[in-house]
Chains A and B, each alone.
Chain A
Amino acid sequence: MSATTAGNSVPKLMVGELLISRGLLTQAQLDEALVLQKKWGTRIGDIVLAKGWIKPLDFYSALAFYYQKPFVDMLKEPPDVILHEKDDLAAYNMHQFMPWRITDDDNPKVIIATSNPNEQAMDLARQRFGDNVDFVITSKFDILWQLQHHHDEYFTHNAIRKLAEQMPEHSASVVITKPQLIFVATVITLVLIVATVWPMATFVGMNLAIAGLLLMTTLARLTLTWVGSDRHIDIKVTDHEVKLLKDEDLPVYTVLMPMYKEEAILPFLAKAMRELDYPLSKLDIKLVLEQDDEGTVNAAKALGLEAFFEIIRVPTSFPKTKPKACNYALNFARGKFITIYDGEDRPEPDQLKKVIIAFSGMAENVACVQARLNYFNSTENWLTRMFTLEYSLWFDFFLPGLEALKIPIPLGGTSNHFKAELLLQFDGWDPYNVAEDADLGVRFTQCGYRVGIVNSTTYEEACNHVPTWIRQRSRWIKGYMQAYLVHMRAPIELYRSIGSVGFWGFQFFFLGAFFSYLVAPFLYGTFVIWILGGAELLDPLFPPLVLLISLFNLTLGNGSLVYMLMVGAFKRQNYMLIPYALTVPYYWLLMSIAAYKALSQLIFNPFYWEKTTHGISTHLETPAAGDQPAAAH
């Protein structure tokens, strides 16, 4: 503080007292803020802004008075962009300043506009512009806005092309490579030739291959369920450990919340974020909105959210995907850790703390911690029940099992918590992959990093409408296909990097997943023929070994999948959902429809993002008036 204020007369008054004297804060609020300051270890200004007790404009004006510096509204007096260095943009964001203007008097001086007068900002300015540097006060929102406004092209380019340029082998911008195409064409040609010469033997061979792959997929899932059911794997962070954590030691945590046309969900989102058990002044929440989505942008503004919410407006560009939006927002993240929540998410309040404890207890190469996902509207209708059953198995058994066996983990769409530094090193998410989270999990493993699972749950809104569900699922499956194609470009390299268990686990978990959905209609058809026409009709296609494997898949295989779903619900104590597991064959049919839609899109429209509509559940509660920020009152 001394360096930044050297040569300036600073009033002896404390900031809090100043705010009271200006009538911006009550004594009671100041007392509470002082208590929180001691507890959270942050500045009074951050606390009162985070609490929404004071409007940012008033606060920064008072701050300017405090430092005896002018307050600059950069919307009216924009910065001179020529002073901005591309390499320093991240620092501008991190330290909340930017070079504003040069005075045009005899002794030209570079003026820094800052919302947070601090050592690092001034040092950086001096390194760039010499010692003759001074500062003015501005709002942090002005800095954010000016950065976006003047450098959106740069940020957009980074968001879209950085991965493709720096690590092209990991980018899905090319759907299928030439060698892959040649391989697929060769296989198809060979199959056709063989089928012409030995048609029955070819069909039997294909039947055996399909049955074998399904068998291995089922066995892999059974293994994961068994491994994932170990309670010693299951619990990582206890409530006691959370209690022992001191708020003052907690770092700034960035939460990215990408949304598109979801204005209805905003109040719920704000409520969920306020309920997080984390110092509000250490939250850096970014509402990542598309520039053309004026409805949501205006709704967010109208809510008058506290200062720890920031709106990031993503310029319209191609591909219009969530990972691109997140990559864009990543440029403005200030936290040591970064997570993503969807608009309708309701994370368990202590999730961020649990993640920090989990990270501290895990190996250094753990790049990401995935929280479990489940649904708050599970009992809304059949579809939401099935979705909940599926998620319970996925997040409570499969992912912990994958983690324990060191198989690449396909991250869930939300509630994955990253070390910010590492995420930036990895150039964020692949904007061309529509299941960017799953892809990133594999990329981490391939590069020697690991993903952990934490025993905290985020409750989401399950799709309650079949067409919406199919849209969402087709996107996920398409993303899995993309990720599989990307990481199988160099299979030997993949094998070397993740080992045999990881490699085969990847095959059965990724390939097995979408492959089984694609072949399911044929299997259903075979079953119907068997029921209607009798076994003799299918005899030539099912020699003893194929028959044995196929019947195993039909009965014990499918049965064990049903059982796994039941166990998932059982663990979650969703007992009423257990009987619904028996109806899963109908759910698999929907999966097949989604899989074929995904395949078609992969060929004809690979980067198209099928948007999921949120906020349509009847189980959403309207936030009470008390849930609104104080400033909005």
Chain B
Amino acid sequence: MRKSSQEEAIGLFSTQSIIIFMLSFGLLLVCALWPVYNGYVSDAALLRMERVMSVLASPVLRIEDFRLLYPHFSVVLLLPFGYMPEIIKSVAPYIVSSFFGAVLLALWNVHLQAKHYPLFDRMVLVLLVAVHPFFLWGVTSGMQGGLSLMMFYGVYLGSVRVIKEADARAFIMLAAAFGAYFFVDERAFFIYFAFLPLLPLIAPPSMLRSSPASLYLIVSMPLLLSVLAWVVYLTFVLSEGAIHFMNAPGEPFRGAWHLMAEVDWLRDYGGTFFQPLIVSLIVAVIAYPVVGWLIWRSRRHAKLARDIEALPLHLSVAVAMATTTYFLAHPADMLYLMAGGVMAAIVLIPREDKLHRRELFLAFLLSAVGGLFCLFWKPTVDMQRWTQAWQGEKLGEYFPGDVELGKWLDANRAPTLIDEHAAYRAIVARGDAYELVLSSTKEFKRALQSDLLTVEQVVVRDPLYNHRDRTGYGNEVFSERLPDSITWHFSDLYRDGMRGYRLVYDDAHWRVYRRTDDAKVDSLDMFPEASLAK
């Protein structure tokens, strides 16, 4: 029996791996689409799909049309879905994330197979990891966490290689993983900074004694390069400036900063460090008691135990940092990555015998229960909607005003000036971005630099629309309107309209003005030479 199991093909493309991938992918897809079927919509997923539509609508495929303000790679992966039927396109972010989640599970299966875990045990383990509520939240809720989990799995394996081998490749692996992480997940900063104090735990003491600075430089350089490259590129292509991606409200690199008023976690702990650190550690222990079991099982392998101990600490420090900067809406948004660390730890500790494997299964089951409990504690609006949809509750329309605008724009197609930062939900509801003049285009910038609009239609949002409360750093909470960039320039446009334009749409907080035929003549009058030439 053992012989036959040894003879099984080991590899990501072996038949067994492919079957496990297919099963995992199917399971995760069902878990992702069931809430969507019940009306759940992820705002992060909508934002990404709007980017894909904008890029595809551009006459030339330009990298700057990605808007650059969030990790690119997740958007690049969505591009092919832009050409697919509407029904698939609308759920593309969920499909992509589930795909990478399944790849990770299949890869883990390969690693377990190499450790001679029997097929049944592997399947049980894969299932137990996949059904953990934090894992499901990260991978299937539209956060695009599948890819991030894969990266974290790589970081964790890399850190263990540093412990075991401490060769140049180990450090390159770890550093490169951080460098690439920046393009995959906006949480990379926090994961990296939280890792730095833990580096002495895993690096060889002799190396630390010789030159700790060089150790940090080697591990940090690729991430610094990624950020530098990003900033230089943004300087080149963005009129808003190089660090716009760091200070633009509502952009992914600012996380939940603009949602402060409605997020319990940030209201209670935002701007502080030690409180969220302790709370996060408690959440980690409740949600992943399996980590405790792993530490106990690896107690005879001091270095490995050290790395496993560092896992909850690492992510809790990351949670605390992200809470201090008002980035994180809920600890689960970061702690779901623990699944990657747990998977790596199981691969790295000696293979468990049958008795201890049962304990492992039990620890995983307990973790799932603990995770579920934590998910219901101080949930965000998205989390509430997601869990409600999971329970089969039919949810109401998500931002109906935006959806109505999108449908109207679809029915009244014409070159339209629109700020996609404000209207991304409407653009997704429209189905594509063809003929829309978006803020990344030269036409849009030119329009905002002149006093007179020439575009066929213009969409403007009510400047008094209280999108969401925002807060500054510190304890003072204040409310601020978030006008779109068209209103910034034409402050009275929403209320008074513009000469030569008539109101054609007025619903919820949106108005659309369309150019009149007289205005076309007027605009020609402004350029007599041009009109004569015509």
Residue ranges of A at the interface with B (Cβ–Cβ < 8 Å): 225-226, 229-231, 234, 397, 535, 544, 547-548, 551-552, 554-556, 559-560, 562-563, 566-567, 569-571, 573, 575-576, 578-579
A231 to chain B: which residues have CB within 8 Å? Answer: 165, 167-169
The 6 closest A-B pairs by CB, nearest first: A575-B211, A555-B229, A559-B225, A229-B169, A575-B214, A231-B167
Choose one: B60, B62, B64, B168; the contact of A229 (CB below 8 Å). Answer: B168
B306 to chain A, nearest CB (A): 22
- Cα-based distance from A571 to B167 in the complex (angstroms): 8
Most chain A CB inside 10 Å of its own CB: which residue of B165, B210, B235, B236: B236
Cβ-defined contact, A555 with B165, below 8 A? no
- Cα-based distance from A463 to B63 in the complex (angstroms): 45
Cβ-defined contact, B233 with A578, below 8 A? no
> Is the CB of B135 closer than 8 A to any CB of chain A?
no
Closest to B167 in A: A231
B221 to chain A: which residues have CB within 8 Å? Answer: 559, 562-563, 566
- Cα-based distance from A397 to B167 in the complex (angstroms): 12
Closest to B64 in A: A544
> Is the CB of B133 closer than 8 A to any CB of chain A?
no
A397 to chain B: which residues have CB within 8 Å? Answer: 168
B68 to chain A, nearest CB (A): 12
Choose one: A230, A535, A575, A578; the contact of B236 (CB below 8 Å). Answer: A535
A32 to chain B, nearest CB (A): 40
Choose one: B63, B217, B218, B229; the contact of A556 (CB below 8 Å). Answer: B229
15 inter-chain pairs at a CB distance below 8 angstroms, sorted by A residue, are A225-B172, A226-B169, A544-B62, A547-B236, A551-B229, A555-B225, A555-B233, A560-B222, A562-B221, A563-B221, A566-B218, A570-B214, A575-B214, A578-B211, A578-B214
Interface of B (DSSP majority class): helix
B205-222 interface with A by 8 A CB criterion: 210-211, 213-214, 217-218, 221-222
A552 to chain B, nearest CB (A): 7
- Cα-based distance from A620 to B4 in the complex (angstroms): 64
A153 to chain B, nearest CB (A): 52
B165 to chain A, nearest CB (A): 7
Contact of A551 with B236 at beta-carbon distance under 8 Å, contacts A556-B229, A559-B228 already known: yes
- Cα-based distance from A253 to B210 in the complex (angstroms): 39
A571 to chain B: which residues have CB within 8 Å? Answer: 167-168
- Cα-based distance from A535 to B236 in the complex (angstroms): 6
A576 to chain B: which residues have CB within 8 Å? Answer: 211
Interface of A (DSSP majority class): helix
Closest to B61 in A: A544
1/0 per residue B152-178: CB within 8 Å of A? 000000000000010111011001000
Closest to B165 in A: A231
Contact of A578 with B228 at beta-carbon distance under 8 Å, contacts A231-B167, A544-B60 already known: no
B13 to chain A, nearest CB (A): 22
- Cα-based distance from A573 to B168 in the complex (angstroms): 10
State the interface size on chain B (CB cutoff 8 A): 28
B72 to chain A, nearest CB (A): 12
Cβ-defined contact, B211 with A229, below 8 A? no
Contact of A567 with B165 at beta-carbon distance under 8 Å, contacts A535-B236, A560-B225 already known: no
B175 to chain A: which residues have CB within 8 Å? Answer: 563
Choose one: A551, A562, A575; the contact of B210 (CB below 8 Å). Answer: A575
- Give the A-B contact count at a CB cut-off of 8 A: 75
- Cα-based distance from A531 to B509 in the complex (angstroms): 44
Cβ-defined contact, A567 with B168, below 8 A? yes
B531 to chain A, nearest CB (A): 29
1/0 per residue B186-226: CB within 8 Å of A? 00000000000000000000000011011001100110011
Cβ-defined contact, B229 with A567, below 8 A? no
1/0 per residue B370-395: CB within 8 Å of A? 00000000000000000000000000
B169 to chain A: which residues have CB within 8 Å? Answer: 226, 229-231
> Is the CB of B278 closer than 8 A to any CB of chain A?
no
B170 to chain A, nearest CB (A): 9
- Cα-based distance from A544 to B60 in the complex (angstroms): 9
- Cα-based distance from A578 to B171 in the complex (angstroms): 14
17 extra interface residue pairs, beta carbon distance < 8 Å, beyond A551-B236, A556-B226: A225-B172, A226-B172, A229-B172, A544-B60, A554-B232, A555-B228, A555-B229, A556-B225, A556-B229, A559-B229, A566-B214, A566-B218, A567-B218, A571-B167, A575-B213, A576-B211, A578-B213
Closest to A544 in B: B62
B158 to chain A, nearest CB (A): 13
- Cα-based distance from A325 to B218 in the complex (angstroms): 43
1/0 per residue B232-275: CB within 8 Å of A? 11011100000000000000000000000000000000000000
- Cα-based distance from A567 to B175 in the complex (angstroms): 11
A535 to chain B: which residues have CB within 8 Å? Answer: 235-236
Closest to B172 in A: A229
Contact of A555 with B217 at beta-carbon distance under 8 Å, contacts A226-B172, A229-B172, A570-B171 already known: no
A551 to chain B, nearest CB (A): 5
A579 to chain B: which residues have CB within 8 Å? Answer: 217
Contact of A563 with B222 at beta-carbon distance under 8 Å, contacts A544-B60, A551-B236, A556-B229 already known: yes
- Cα-based distance from A226 to B62 in the complex (angstroms): 31
Cβ-defined contact, A548 with B63, below 8 A? yes
A553 to chain B, nearest CB (A): 10
A226 to chain B: which residues have CB within 8 Å? Answer: 169, 172
B230 to chain A, nearest CB (A): 8
B226 to chain A: which residues have CB within 8 Å? Answer: 556
Choose one: B62, B168, B233, B237; the contact of A570 (CB below 8 Å). Answer: B168
A556 to chain B: which residues have CB within 8 Å? Answer: 225-226, 229
B226 to chain A, nearest CB (A): 7
Closest to B210 in A: A575
Cβ-defined contact, A566 with B217, below 8 A? yes
B64 to chain A: which residues have CB within 8 Å? Answer: 544
B235 to chain A: which residues have CB within 8 Å? Answer: 535
